[in-house]
Amino acid sequence: MTVVARVGSVTLDCPDPRALADFYQAVTGADREHDSDDTVALAAVPPGGINLCFQRVADHRPPRWPDPSAPQQFHLDLYAEDPAAALARMIELGAALAPHQPGEGRWTVLLDPAGHPFCLAAAP
């Protein structure tokens, strides 16, 4: 199959781009490529991967996963060599365990500080 394009970045809507970027920067170790009041972009880790970006939305309403009346819209899957240590650190940084955990131990669902669900699993 011919590659037409590659994914360059994923942008998350949020009420405070800098605060949410701070969280993901601490989790991933990514450097900031752009920083303004309305948008923040983190560099891809590893280089050549996907950048994470954050944009201000004045009336941001976070998802209420798994409630279909306010769906998650998308989620990130994050991998860690030591998932237990990563989980503890993410909670220290402001993440919360989601009340619904369907992974049966294969992954853990967390909510970032703006309410977006994401999954944490062991590195493949």
pLDDT at position 5 over 80:
no
pLDDT band at 7 (very low <50, low <70, confident <90, very high): confident
Please list the residues that pair with 55 across neighbouring strands.
13, 39
Tokens of 2: 């011919």
Residue 72 pLDDT greater than 90, yes or no: no
What is the mean pLDDT of the segment spanning 77-103? Answer: 94
> What digits encode the pLDDT tens for the residues 17-57?
999 999 999 999 999 999 999 999 999 988 889 999 999 99
CA distance 94 to 33: 23
What is the rounded distance in angstroms from the CA atom of residue 29 to the CA atom of residue 32?
10
Q: What does the CA dihedral 77, 121, 44, 61 come to, rounded to 10 degrees?
A: 40
Long-range interactions of 58-66: CB distance < 8 A, separation 24+: 58/15, 60/13, 60/14, 60/15, 60/114, 62/111, 62/114, 62/115, 62/116, 63/115, 63/116, 63/117, 64/115, 65/98, 65/100, 65/109, 65/111, 65/117, 66/100, 66/102
**Cα torsion angle, 113, 116, 122, 124, sign:** negative
User: Which of 13-17, 44-48, 77-81, 95-99 shows the lowest per-residue confidence on average (mean pLDDT)?
Assistant: 44-48
Residue 48's pLDDT is 86
pLDDT given at position 64: 87
**Comparing 64 with 74, which gets the higher pLDDT?**
64
pLDDT score, position 31: 96
pLDDT reported for residue 78: 94
What pLDDT, on a 0 to 100 scale, did the predictor assign at position 4?
Answer: 63
